[in-house]
Amino acid sequence: MYKHISVLLEESIKYLDIKKDGIYIDCTLGGGGHSFEILKKLDKGHLYAFDQDDYAIKKASDKLDTLKKNYTIIKGNFVELKEKMNHLGIDKVDGILYDLGVSSFQFDIPDRGFSYKYDAPLDMRMNQNQELTAAKIVNEYSYHEIVKILFRYGEETYAKQIARNIEKKRLEKKISTTFELVAIIKSSLSMKVLSKKGHPAKKTFQALRIAVNDELRVFEDSLEQALDMLNENGRVVVITFHSLEDRIAKHVMKDRVTIDFPINVPIMPDIKPDFELLHKKVILPSDEELNNNNRAHSAKLRAIKKI
């Protein structure tokens, strides 16, 4: 059953500091929770929202239409941020939000193949028009390519064992479903590992999802574009759900608030960076939110302002 609970909702709206007549972009529309709250605060302003998923666009449109305010949904990947916005005649905005990871409904609808909890085709595409699926990676990529994906994107300690067993099993028959992959993963691990807290397939599924959707590359590219598009006092807010995403957000933002002066060149006191971080430490969900929304447990928020 579809259910969407937005993570760090109050905090993200606070750090966006929304102006009633401002222009804002939600790069990750999803179920429309954050977009709904942004739109509520706008009067003459306009909200633009990106999503690749037809189901998300339909569900979010139904929700946003109830406000009868100005918004535009753009079907596309947020890596196309500048291109799509320039096509609409927009080159500067007042705020941009990223709520990364997989939307609740993508996990909760079995046919999408994102979850190890449901038996479904190995898919994991956010954009269902693209060719690359998790099944293609599992059945056609080399042992070394699969090891690299599992280790780099899932930080899976047992990447080699899992990849070797995938290689063996696909010689017998094509690996087509999530439960077939889960069985291979479990067969690759010792009872000691299997008895630990957490699902043994979690890291592998995360790694495959990131690889299928090229999530890390497109996020870094898009975030750089977003920072370039800000008006004075404009803000970018990023909500991440695993360390690789958060690391990218942290480093990109740090670069924008740092001035590298050449060695032996006197430092001019009036030279300041164009951006400032809006908080010293990463923002985490409150205890109340953690109790009410299990998917908030790995969430982190970072925010930056153009000055």
CATH superfamily, domain at 111-213 = Putative methyltransferase TM0872, insert domain (1.10.150.170)
**Which range among 51-55, 91-95, 210-214 shows the weakest confidence by mean pLDDT?**
51-55
Average pLDDT of the segment spanning 266-291: 88
CA distance 41 to 168: 56
- Average pLDDT score, the chain: 93
Q: In this structure, what is the dihedral angle of CA atoms 198, 189, 139, 55, given to the nearest 10 degrees? A: -10
Q: What is the pTM of this model?
A: 0.90
Say which CATH topology domain 9-99+215-306 has: Rossmann fold (3.40.50)
What tokens appear for 143 in the block? 């042992």
Report residue 200's pLDDT band, with 50, 70 and 90 as the boundaries. very high
Average pLDDT over residues 239-267: 87
Q: Which residues of the chain form CATH 1.10.150.170?
A: 111-213
Pinpoint the residues of the chain covered by CATH 3.40.50.150.
Answer: 9-99+215-306
What mean pLDDT do residues 138-150 have? 98
Confidence category of residue 1, pLDDT binned at 50, 70, 90: very low
Handedness of CA 30, 33, 38, 40 (dihedral sign): positive
| Chain segment 201-231, per-residue pLDDT in tens | 999 999 999 999 999 999 999 999 999 999 9
**Low-confidence winner among 5-9, 102-106, 286-290 (lowest mean pLDDT):** 102-106
Burial of 61: CB neighbours in 10 Å, binned 0-12, 13-18, 19+: middle
